[in-house]
Amino acid sequence: MPAIPAGAEIAVVGAGTMGAGIARVAAAAGHRVSLYDTREGAAARAIDAIRTDLDRQVERGKVTRGDAEALLDRLHAALHLDVMGRAKLAIEAIVEDRAAKIALFRELEQLVADDAILATNTSSISVNAIGGALKHPARCVGMHFFNPAHLMPLVEVVAPLTASEEAIETVMATARAWGKRPIRVTSSPGFVVNRVARPYYAEALRTRSEFFSGVAEIDAAMTESGGFRMGPFRLMDMIGNDVNYAVTRSVFEAFAYDRRFAPSLLQEELVDAGRLGRKTGRGYYDYGHAAVDPHAAEAVPGPPPRAVVAYGDLGVAAPLIALARARGIAVDERASEDPRIEVEGVTLKLTDGALATEHDRVRPTVLFDLALDYERCPRIVIAAGIDDAQARSAVAAGFFQALGKRVTPIGDIPGLIVMRTVAAIANEASTMLGGALGDETIDLAMTLGVSYPLGPLAWGARIGLPHVLAVLENLCRLLGPDRYRPAYVLRMRALAATQR
């Protein structure tokens, strides 16, 4: 099916961040766009904000003045909903509430032409439920953009059971014409991105509330070790804790209250207190004028080792050996079925989800966390067991500091921070495999939709699925199966990998 022609009118209802961004995308593609919001003056203010941003882009030479003015000329603040009747495509970007969306579309379908498409930008609500409540459900489709809509390339085109193939394919083609990368997904809870991304927030919240790890330490681990663009707490503050909490609740309810999607009481308390993040000036961080950004704790300088012994295949952590040699540390490599690094009587091991205290039964151990790139990452997170923890941590810190890394010691928690989160994300992604969704589509969605540094399934393969499975099984054993039960596909792939 062809895309909606560039000259056709587009209606956008909801002039918040997402609605304004979608309107900007459509206008940039050559459409006349009517932007409407029930809040008086909201649409006009949104267009003014777009104008201010375009002025900055012109000053930087990224946009010509002529293109900016042409885009703005195509944006119009609608004072009444009935002016949307000329639209060939009406996109809803209002509050994440099923009843409100259904009420809006029932009104819109009375206004627009019979061949107009109604698209919802919902991030988690069932499009089947929205379309099924309309008189003409065949033209209701999901068109989920990501923030900021004018920059993020992904669009999830949600194909509910109620929609016609013509409407779905028209929206797919239109998204491509607008310079986006659409992927077709079914109307399942959270679709792809918001479902697979749940553990990114959930594990941070659980680590903070259950193990009293610091917000700054968790964010630093995820960005400076894990390579994510923004830590989970900074990201929730940017999204809005109310919005993030609402999406989590929606997915939780849609999955019949499956405990692996359970919302965090910590986040609920912040929402109840009005600490919604940047938009209110305070969330997990303080955004006031006098606020001082907290810094992640770092280990005091430890003694650099002259020599270490590396046992077995360190897999994803193997770059540490080359880095050690490059820093003048003598490395003695020995064969072993138990991969580890021995430094002055202390064993350093990549976390497998078990506690360092448990590893101590075999030999004195400090666990280190997963990193996206051990050669280039600026920070390493470590955890020691109960016995002689300070002295062992000093030895481990000395080794990693000698490699040019900042070192953050944390408590002896299962899976540490990055490994625990990545394993949970890869596991959730594995539950979605099948049908039209393959590894490449899911990984593409996560890298384009939320800028993950690596697709979760590709990352799981890089770590080694047997190791990911071991992490999940240890998390199940220590923290309970509700959160971490391994997906069937992941378990089967891990078994196949061990038999090669």
Active-site residue flag, 467: no
Using DSSP's 3-state secondary structure scheme, residue 379 falls into strand
Look up tokens 């995820």; give the residue. 222
How many Å apart are CA 285 and CA 220, to the nearest integer?
14
How many Å apart are CA 301 and CA 303, to the nearest integer?
7
For residue 421, give the DSSP letter: H
CB under 8 Å to 476, separation ≥6 — which residues? 484, 485, 486
Distances (CA, A) of 247 to 61, 95, 124, 253, 370: 38, 11, 6, 10, 28
Look up tokens 């060939």; give the residue. 88
Distances (CA, A) of 85 to 7, 113, 389: 15, 7, 69
Of 70, 87, 91, the residue nearest 180 (C-alpha): 91
Instruction: State the pairing for strand pair 346-350/340-343.
Output: antiparallel
Distances (CA, A) of 469 to 60, 63, 390, 430, 491: 48, 48, 30, 12, 7
Distances (CA, A) of 246 to 188, 205, 249: 16, 15, 5
Q: Which residue in 144, 150, 359, 467 is the catalytic one?
A: 144
Using DSSP's 3-state secondary structure scheme, residue 162 falls into coil
For residue 279, give the DSSP letter: G
Residues assigned a catalytic role: 144
